[in-house]
Structures are given as C-alpha cells and as structure tokens.
Structure 1
Amino acid sequence: SPTGQVIVSYEYANGMYREDKSMDDYNPATKLTKDEVLGLPIVVICNEYTASAGEIFTAAVRDYRNAGLLSATIVGTVTYKKGIMQSTYNYGDGSSVTLTTAYYNPPSGVNYHGTGVSPDVEVENTQTEDLQYNQAIIELNKLINANNN
C-alpha cells in the first residue's frame, strides 16, 4: 500500500541499521543513532520512476543536505513530480471520485508537485550500462574523501 511505503521511508529516515560481518563471526544488526546516520555520506539514485516514498525520501535528503545536516549527493534524473496524495471514494451506485487529500511537504516546506526533485548530478542510463550506479560510486567516493579531509 502507498501508506506502508511512506511509513518505511519515515522509519528509514529516522534510523538505519548496520550489520557487522566477518568470516569468523556474525553480529546482529544494530540500529544507528540519529547522529551516526547524519554522519554517513549518502548517495541517492533517482529517476522518473522515483515516486511516493522514494520521492519524499529524495526530497528530504536534498533538504537536509542543503541545511548542512547531511553529506549527500543525488544522482540520476528528475523524479516522478507528484507531490500530492490522492484518495478515491467509491459509492454504492458504482461511481467514484478521486480527490487530492494531502500535499507532501519536505523539510524545506517547498512542495515538488509538478517539478519533481532534480538530481545534483544528472545522468541517464543506457540500454546496456547502469551509468547512474557507476556515477553514484564516483560521487560516494568523493563524499568519503571530503569527509576524511
């Protein structure tokens, strides 16, 4: 359900999990604190199919980065451009009506409906290569190097 996807995005944004593994030992996943999450370099890959919770998450990462709270880069193409939520109401006579019932407002308060979320580094995939993934690795290495200096 769309609501479930939004809840997953919210939970992900409020705490990520880390698993520490080695050849000899396995430690169960531990939840990272908010400060640990904010200290991680993040690269988000998006495209025209990044919608719903993915678009909300991408906008939130952009806004937290712009506020200086995250070290992040967005790679890909403009997202789906739907910053609203709609509800459909069905009636006993077989008719229905779909109404806009909510606007998604990311942390900046600027809704992206009709414009989408633009990437920092615009890259289109080809039929044979995942250029967005390749660029995401490059951008992640840049963020890691910048954080280590």
Structure 2
Amino acid sequence: MDREPERKTLARRIAALEQDNQSLWKRIQALTEQNEALQDRGGRRAFDEMEEGIRSLEIQVTKALDNTSGLKPDMSSTAKRLSDISTQLASLNGKLDGKVGYAMLSIYAFGIVAVVMRNEIMAFLESLSVG
C-alpha cells in the first residue's frame, strides 16, 4: 500500500496548523503588549479613572431618575388644573365681552347726572338766555 499521498496531506495539514499556531501566538503577544501598555506605574490601569467617572455619571443618572420619578403624576394633575383654568378663563372672557366699556359708562353717568340735575341745568340755560 502506498501511503505517500496521505503523508503529504498530513504534512500540509501540520504545516497549516503550525502557521495558525504561530499567528495565534503573535496575536496573544500583541494583546499582552496592549494590556501591559494600559498599566501605569502604580499598577492601576489607564481606564480606571474613566471607570470611576462612568460610575459617578451612573450615580448622577440614578439620582436624577429618583428626583424626576414623581414628575409624571404631578404633570398630569397640572395638566388637569390648566384645563380647568382654561375653562374658567373662557367663561370669564364671555362675561367680559358682555360688560360695558368706559365710553358707554361715561355716557350712562352723564345721562344719570343730567336726569338728577335737570332742574339745575334748566335754570342755568334759562339764565343764559335771559341775561
């Protein structure tokens, strides 16, 4: 039996696996170098401060959510109150349209004064025509 073709195939597979193995080792080394680059002198990672900042932002967002959690019911009750106020203002606007203006009020006042003081006015007019 001739096993030479099988040996060549196996040799090619082994060579391909060795190349894959070498490329994986190169990738592992590159990742290790990147990880070491993230370390600073104190042993802290370069992103630790960023993580603290993110943690602080998350706390602030949580507080903001807690502070604003009651706004939705308040806003709906405020909207209802505004609707009631709008209805009342429309009612007042209708009543104000029927009210007498200053010009008409002064004419009415002048008419009332003329009726009350008609005798005095007549006497004054007669004194002008006689004299």
* Short-chain TM bin: under 0.3
After TM superposition, the score normalised by the length of structure 2 is 0.17
Which has the larger share of strand? 1
After TM superposition, the score normalised by the length of structure 1 is 0.15
Which has the greater radius of gyration? 2
Which has the larger share of helix? 2
Q: Which has the higher contact order (CA 8 A, sep 6+)?
A: 1
